[in-house]
Amino acid sequence: MFVSVVVPCYRSARTLPSLVDRLAAVLPEVTAGYEVVLVVDGSPDRTWEVAADLARRRPEVRAIRLARNYGQHHATIAGVRAAVHEVIVTMDDDLQHPPEEVPRLLAALTDDVDLVYGRPREDEHGMARNLSSHLLKIALSGPLGARSARSISAFRAFRAFLRSGLDGVTGPYVCLDIALSWCTTRIEEVDVHMDQRTEGRSGYTLRALLRQAVNVVVGYSSTPLRCVSYLGLLVGGFGVCLLTVLLWNYFAGRTTVAGFTSVASMVALFSSAQMLAIGILGEYLGRLHSGGMGRPTYVVRAEANRSDPAGEPACPPGVLSQRP
């Protein structure tokens, strides 16, 4: 088995040497050959210099530098597209995903399994982060299916042929796990140990995770539109009930002068339903507009490996490579 390990990198100048060393100690025992693809996602520190130096000194390491910070999913997709081996492993750059656990993922990738997720034995984050992560997985349960969504993790191993599902993935709103779920249902999970983050802080705050949940639900599911229809039926039913009560009071002779509170409440209720529906429809239209502008998923600024020690641009000077 030949394996490509894809690592999206951001503010990880201190952890990358240790990560590469630990992978080099583990992978030769379980693979016939391997490579490590370090994708530097516009990091403002010395991460690119460290990654390029590792690529120059180690033949199994390749470094890719994106033009700016596009986000973890975009950087991971860039590395997955650049990988050359039959099995691809993705993992974080902060050593929370121990390289020593990679053999467990590979062992679970049997002939009848195409995709394996590493599920932490214990929660490695704080209460707020864990809660927001669970909310994101619940949001994913619609597009992915509940079983797959509850097990997703950035620590994954899958067969390289699945990346054909990424051919049509373009634009700023991408989710690797959704694309993989379009290609296979042969998905398993394995319990792995997760270490605590040793450097820096995670960029996945509660706000970022909620934003990602909205991106996934709106970008890969028609459920919100269906909910708008249900909301319209619910509000319509409430209006019919209210009309029935008013007519009953009228014919029973219990009608009083309509008060401001009743009128204001009805107006606020129906206005809220209309604004919610318009907002959801606007979100879909905005995404269609964004996709029609041809905005790239990522742009590669430079690549470095042992055969290209200078870390030259990935295309001729003056031309930026835009990969869909």
CB 144 within 8 A of CB 258: no
pLDDT digits (tens, 9 = 90+) for 290-299: 565 555 666 7
DSSP assignment of 223-251: HHHHHHHHHHHHHHHHHHHHHHHHHHHHH
Pairing of strands 187-192, 298-304: unpaired
pLDDT at 317: 35
CATH superfamily of 2-221+296-323: Spore Coat Polysaccharide Biosynthesis Protein SpsA; Chain A (3.90.550.10)
90 DSSP β-pair partners: 6, 156
Kindly report which listed range (84-98, 230-244, 259-273) carries the lowest average pLDDT score.
259-273
Q: How many CB atoms lie within 10 A of CB 167?
A: 10
pLDDT at 316: 38
pLDDT at 166: 80
pLDDT at 194: 83
C-alpha span between 96 and 92 (Å, rounded): 7
Q: What is the DSSP letter of 45?
A: S
At 40, the pLDDT band (50, 70, 90 cuts) reads very high
pLDDT at 135: 58
At 175, the pLDDT band (50, 70, 90 cuts) reads confident
C-alpha span between 324 and 319 (Å, rounded): 16
Which residues 6+ apart lie within 8 Å of 121 measured at CB?
191, 192, 193, 194
Alpha helices in the chain (DSSP H): 16-26, 47-57, 72-82, 102-108, 127-144, 146-149, 176-181, 206-220, 223-251, 260-292
Amino acid identity of residue 101, one-letter, is E
Kindly report which listed range (57-71, 85-99, 227-241, 255-269) carries the lowest average pLDDT score.
255-269
At 168, the pLDDT band (50, 70, 90 cuts) reads confident
Q: If you compute the radius of gyration of the chain from its CA atoms, what whole number of angstroms results?
A: 25
Percent of the chain with pLDDT over 70: 62
Burial of 4 from C-beta contacts in 10 A (0-12 / 13-18 / 19+): buried
C-alpha span between 71 and 45 (Å, rounded): 16
**SS3 of residue 63 by DSSP:** strand
Kindly report which listed range (74-78, 87-91, 131-135) carries the lowest average pLDDT score.
131-135
Q: How many CB atoms lie within 10 A of CB 203?
A: 11
C-alpha span between 69 and 10 (Å, rounded): 8
CA atoms within 13 A on the CB side of 244: 6
Compute the average pLDDT of residues 128-157. Answer: 61
pLDDT at residue 72 tops 50: yes
- The structural domains of the chain, with segments of one domain joined by +, span 2-221+296-323, 223-292
pLDDT at 164: 82
User: Is pLDDT larger for residue 140 or for residue 315?
Assistant: 140
End-to-end CA distance of the chain: 29
pLDDT at 292: 58
Given the structure tokens 């994708």, which residue do they identify?
39
pLDDT at 47: 95
Amino acid identity of residue 316, one-letter, is P
The pTM of the whole model exceeds 0.85: no
User: Is pLDDT larger for residue 74 or for residue 121?
Assistant: 74
pLDDT at 319: 35
pLDDT at 132: 53
C-alpha span between 116 and 151 (Å, rounded): 9
The alpha carbon of 41 is separated from its chain's Cα centroid by a whole number of angstroms, namely 14
Q: How big, in percent rounded to 5, are the helix, strand and coil portions of the chain?
A: 50, 15, 35
CB 123 within 8 A of CB 210: no
- Considering only CA atoms, which of 202, 215, 72 is closest in space to residue 139? 215
